[in-house]
Structure 1
Amino acid sequence: MEPVTLAIGGASYYVATKFVDQFISQEGYGWFRKQLFPKQRYVDRLYQLIEETASEFEVEYPTDSGKVPFYQSQPLFDVLNEYILFKEFPDKAEVVNKFSDYPSVLPPTQKQLERFYAILALKINECETLKKLHIEETYKEKIFDINEELIQIKLILRSIDEKLTFHLNDDWLNEKNRQAIADLGGRYTPELNLKLEIAKIFEGLGRTQNFSELFYSHIDGFLIKGNKLCTCDEISSQLSVISKSLTEIITLYQAIDFSKLTKIPTDEFCKSIASCNNAVAESESVLWKLREEAKAAGESNDYSDKYSSILRELRDFDYECNKLSTFLNSITVKLSNNPFLLLEGEAGIGKSHLLADVVETRIKTGSPSLFLLGQQLTSDESPWVQIFKRLQVDTTSDDFLEKLNLYAQKNNKRILIFIDAINEGNGNKFWDDNINSFVEEIKRFDWLGLIMSVRSTYKNITISDENVSRIDFETHEHIGFKNIELKAVNLFYDN
Structure 2
Amino acid sequence: MPPTPDIDFARIRPHGQPASRANAFEELASLLIRDDAVQWPEGTRFHKFGNPDGGREGRGVLPSGEVWAWQAKYLTSFDSGAAGQVKRSFLRTLTTEPELRRYFVTMPIDLPAGDTDRSKSAFTLWGEEVVRWEAAAAEQGRTVTVEFVGAHDLITALTSDHNAGRVRYWFDASVLTRKQQQERIDDVAAKLGRRYSPQLHVDVDAVQVVDGAGRTTAYIARWQQLLADLRSARRWSWRAPDGDEDAFHDALLRCAASLNEVDALLERIIAQIRAFDAVDLSTAQVDAALSALDDLNTLLRNRSRTDDGFYVGEAGSLYGHVRDAIAALRMARQLCMSPATAAASRGELLLTGRAGVGKTHLLCDVAKKRIAAELPTVMILGQDFDVRNLLMQLPELAELPGSVDELLALLSAAAEASGQKALLIIDAINESEQPDRWQAALQAMMSKASRYPAVSLVISCRTEFVDAVVGNHGLPAAEHFGFEESTETAVRRFAAEYGLDVPTFPVFNPEFANPLFLRLTCEALTTLGTGRFTLGSAGLTTVCGAFIEAANVRLSAAGRCDFDSRTDLVDVAIKQLATIEGGRIPRVVANDICSTLLPNRSWSKSLLKGMLDEGILVEVGTDHLSFGYQRLGDVARARTIAEKTPTAVAEWMQSLGTGLWTERGVLGALAVLMPEQHGVELMDCADLTKPVPYDLIDAFLESISLREPTAASARTEEFVRVLLNADRHRNEMWGQLVRVACVPDHPLNAQWLHEHLTSLDLPTRDTSWSLSLIGALDPEEHSPIRTLIEWAWPTDQNALIRTNSDTAELALLLLGWCTSTNDRRVRDSATKALVALGEREVDAFASALLPLMSVDDPYVVERVAAAACGIALRHESRAAQLAGLLHV
Say yes or no: does 1:315 pair with 2:359.
no
* Counterpart code for 1:177: I
Say yes or no: does 1:264 pair with 2:318.
no
Equivalent residue, structure 1, for 2:195: 187
Deviations 1:413-459 (A, max 9, x none): 21101111100031524212322112211111111111111111111
Equivalent residue, structure 1, for 2:26: none
Cα distance in 2, alignment partners of residues 193 and 285 from structure 1? 47
Of the candidates 76, 79, 91, which is equivalent to residue 148 of structure 2?
Answer: 91
Cα offset, 1:305, TM superposition: 5.1
* Counterpart code for 1:204: G
DSSP 3-state at the match of 2:485 = coil
Cα offset, 1:388, TM superposition: 3.1
User: Cα 1:174–1:397, aligned 2, differ >3 Å: closer, same or farther?
Assistant: same
Deviations 1:212-263 (A, max 9, x none): 2221011110221144463012322111112112222333334443432233
Give the % identical residues: 20
Equivalent residues, number: 353
Equivalent residue, structure 2, for 1:273: 286
Cα offset, 1:386, TM superposition: 2.3
DSSP 3-state at the match of 1:453 = strand
Deviations 1:190-231 (A, max 9, x none): 111011122122222212222222210111102211444630
Cα distance in 2, alignment partners of residues 372 and 108 from structure 1? 25
Cα offset, 1:346, TM superposition: 0.4
Cα distance in 1, alignment partners of residues 158 and 414 from structure 2? 21
Of the candidates 331, 337, 347, which is equivalent to residue 345 of structure 2?
Answer: 337
Equivalent residue, structure 2, for 1:436: 443
* Counterpart code for 1:248: E
Deviations 1:343-378 (A, max 9, x none): 110001111111111111112222110010001112
Say yes or no: does 1:399 pair with 2:406.
yes
Equivalent residue, structure 2, for 1:476: 478
Given that 2:412 and 2:455 are in contact with CA atoms closer than 8 Å, whether structure 1 keeps it comes out as yes
Greater RCO (Cα-Cα under 8 Å, separation 6 or more): 1
User: Cα 1:103–1:333, aligned 2, differ >3 Å: closer, same or farther?
Assistant: closer
**Bigger mean CA offset, 235-244 vs 225-234:** 225-234
* Counterpart code for 1:407: A
Cα distance in 1, alignment partners of residues 144 and 319 from structure 2? 60
* Counterpart code for 1:106: S
* Counterpart code for 1:375: Q
DSSP 3-state at the match of 1:91 = strand
Equivalent residue, structure 2, for 1:119: none
Equivalent residue, structure 2, for 1:289: 302
User: Cα 1:187–1:430, aligned 2, differ >3 Å: closer, same or farther?
Assistant: same
Cα offset, 1:476, TM superposition: 0.8
Of the candidates 224, 228, 231, which is equivalent to residue 220 of structure 1?
Answer: 228
Equivalent residue, structure 2, for 1:485: 487
Given that 2:169 and 2:413 are in contact with CA atoms closer than 8 Å, whether structure 1 keeps it comes out as yes
DSSP 3-state at the match of 1:342 = strand
Of the candidates 219, 233, 246, which is equivalent to residue 211 of structure 1?
Answer: 219
Of the candidates 397, 401, 409, which is equivalent to residue 416 of structure 2?
Answer: 409
Equivalent residue, structure 1, for 2:257: 244
Equivalent residue, structure 2, for 1:376: 384
User: Cα 1:286–1:107, aligned 2, differ >3 Å: closer, same or farther?
Assistant: same
Cα distance in 2, alignment partners of residues 421 and 151 from structure 1? 27
Cα distance in 2, alignment partners of residues 356 and 249 from structure 1? 37
DSSP 3-state at the match of 2:423 = strand
Given that 1:107 and 1:154 are in contact with CA atoms closer than 8 Å, whether structure 2 keeps it comes out as no
User: Cα 1:334–1:309, aligned 2, differ >3 Å: closer, same or farther?
Assistant: same
Cα distance in 1, alignment partners of residues 425 and 344 from structure 2? 16
The normalised TM-score by structure 2 is 0.37
Given that 1:370 and 1:417 are in contact with CA atoms closer than 8 Å, whether structure 2 keeps it comes out as yes
DSSP 3-state at the match of 1:423 = helix
Cα distance in 1, alignment partners of residues 301 and 407 from structure 2? 64
Cα distance in 1, alignment partners of residues 186 and 423 from structure 2? 15
User: Cα 1:301–1:459, aligned 2, differ >3 Å: closer, same or farther?
Assistant: closer
Say yes or no: does 1:453 pair with 2:473.
no
User: Cα 1:348–1:240, aligned 2, differ >3 Å: closer, same or farther?
Assistant: same
Deviations 1:121-156 (A, max 9, x none): xxxxxxxxxxxxxxxxxxxxxxxxxxxxx9865645
Deviations 1:79-124 (A, max 9, x none): xxxxxxx9856412x2x33444x69942766xxxxxxxxxxxxxxx
* RMSD over aligned Cα atoms: 3.2
Given that 1:229 and 1:314 are in contact with CA atoms closer than 8 Å, whether structure 2 keeps it comes out as no
Cα distance in 2, alignment partners of residues 304 and 384 from structure 1? 64
Cα distance in 2, alignment partners of residues 328 and 224 from structure 1? 20
Given that 2:278 and 2:346 are in contact with CA atoms closer than 8 Å, whether structure 1 keeps it comes out as no
* Counterpart code for 1:408: A
* Counterpart code for 2:406: D
Say yes or no: does 1:106 pair with 2:163.
no
Cα distance in 1, alignment partners of residues 157 and 325 from structure 2? 59
**Unmatched runs of 5 consecutive residues or more in structure 1:** 1-74, 76-85, 110-149, 161-165
Given that 2:348 and 2:458 are in contact with CA atoms closer than 8 Å, whether structure 1 keeps it comes out as yes
Given that 1:223 and 1:246 are in contact with CA atoms closer than 8 Å, whether structure 2 keeps it comes out as no
Cα offset, 1:407, TM superposition: 1.9
Cα offset, 1:180, TM superposition: 1.3
Given that 2:379 and 2:424 are in contact with CA atoms closer than 8 Å, whether structure 1 keeps it comes out as yes
Say yes or no: does 1:423 pair with 2:435.
no
DSSP 3-state at the match of 1:347 = coil
User: Cα 1:315–1:390, aligned 2, differ >3 Å: closer, same or farther?
Assistant: closer
User: Cα 1:153–1:417, aligned 2, differ >3 Å: closer, same or farther?
Assistant: closer
DSSP 3-state at the match of 1:480 = coil
* Counterpart code for 1:402: A
DSSP 3-state at the match of 2:425 = strand
Cα distance in 2, alignment partners of residues 311 and 104 from structure 1? 59
Say yes or no: does 1:349 pair with 2:357.
yes
Cα distance in 1, alignment partners of residues 210 and 493 from structure 2? 23
* Counterpart code for 1:368: P
Cα distance in 2, alignment partners of residues 87 and 316 from structure 1? 49
Cα offset, 1:487, TM superposition: 0.3
User: Cα 1:310–1:413, aligned 2, differ >3 Å: closer, same or farther?
Assistant: closer
DSSP 3-state at the match of 1:362 = helix
User: Cα 1:174–1:327, aligned 2, differ >3 Å: closer, same or farther?
Assistant: same
User: Cα 1:335–1:315, aligned 2, differ >3 Å: closer, same or farther?
Assistant: same
Deviations 1:280-317 (A, max 9, x none): 2212222322247xx7xxxx554565544433432332
Given that 1:222 and 1:320 are in contact with CA atoms closer than 8 Å, whether structure 2 keeps it comes out as yes
Cα distance in 2, alignment partners of residues 186 and 286 from structure 1? 60
Cα distance in 2, alignment partners of residues 392 and 203 from structure 1? 25
Given that 1:418 and 1:451 are in contact with CA atoms closer than 8 Å, whether structure 2 keeps it comes out as yes
User: Cα 1:263–1:104, aligned 2, differ >3 Å: closer, same or farther?
Assistant: closer
**Unmatched runs of 5 consecutive residues or more in structure 2:** 1-109, 111-142, 498-888
Cα distance in 1, alignment partners of residues 145 and 312 from structure 2? 71
User: Cα 1:283–1:429, aligned 2, differ >3 Å: closer, same or farther?
Assistant: closer
DSSP 3-state at the match of 2:262 = helix
